[in-house]
Amino acid sequence: MLRPIYPIDTARLRLRPFRPDDLEALLGIQSREDVTRFLYWGTRTHDDVQAVLSERLRQDALTGEGDKLILAVERRDTGAVIGDVNLVWLSRENRQGETGFVLHPDHHGNGFAHEAADVMLRLGFEELGLHRIIGRCDGRNTASTKVMEKLGMRREAHFRQNEIVKGEWSDEIVYALLADEWKVAQGMRP
């Protein structure tokens, strides 16, 4: 089980559970085509985002396999919610997880996705005891692949035209990191 102590502060970010007053910020992200272009879902309406937020209000801990921890990514200097980051508990038996991130385009290119996702890796490996964490993205999403590579994740698979997303064939790229690799990168003993 993983129930972090909130907020989780990094050098420039604050990761915290979503609150009801995050609706407009989340709408400002999820209603944009340039955000949803490489995601499974399309742009969302106010009502769609309200439903998503209602779910996220309960996704602040991992208590069992299949649970999702989805946190708001807030800039510490402005207090603005600029995206979200997640950790999914895929398998208890095999100690597997998955991480992902979505940021408002106005905040791309500043290392915020790396800073937030790094926290999810730490939570997964050090607090939940996962053995392996993956990250997946659309093959055209080079920005996300760069973030995963900077996190030390290794490209494990490139599935060519493996599924139809939004009416067109899409490639999927899978990255992964093992707990021992994480420890070495953090200067710990494996």
Query: What average pLDDT does this structure show over 53-66?
Result: 98
Taking the alpha carbons at both ends of the chain, their separation in whole angstroms is: 22
- What's the rounded Cα separation, in Å, for the pair 99 and 52? 18
Quickly state the pLDDT bin for 187 (edges 50, 70, 90). Answer: confident
The per-residue pLDDT for range 67-108, each reduced to its tens digit, is 999 999 999 999 999 999 999 999 999 999 999 999 999 999
- Comparing CA positions, the residue from 160, 158, 154 lying closest to residue 176 is 154
User: pLDDT value at position 55?
Assistant: 98
Say what the pLDDT of residue 189 is: 74
pLDDT at 177: 98
Average pLDDT of the chain is: 97
Element (H, E) at 47: helix 46-56
Read off the pTM: 0.96
For each of the domains in the chain, give its residue range(s) and CATH number, in order of start: 8-185 (3.40.630.30)
Question: What pLDDT is attached to residue 5?
Answer: 97
State the pLDDT at residue 188. 79
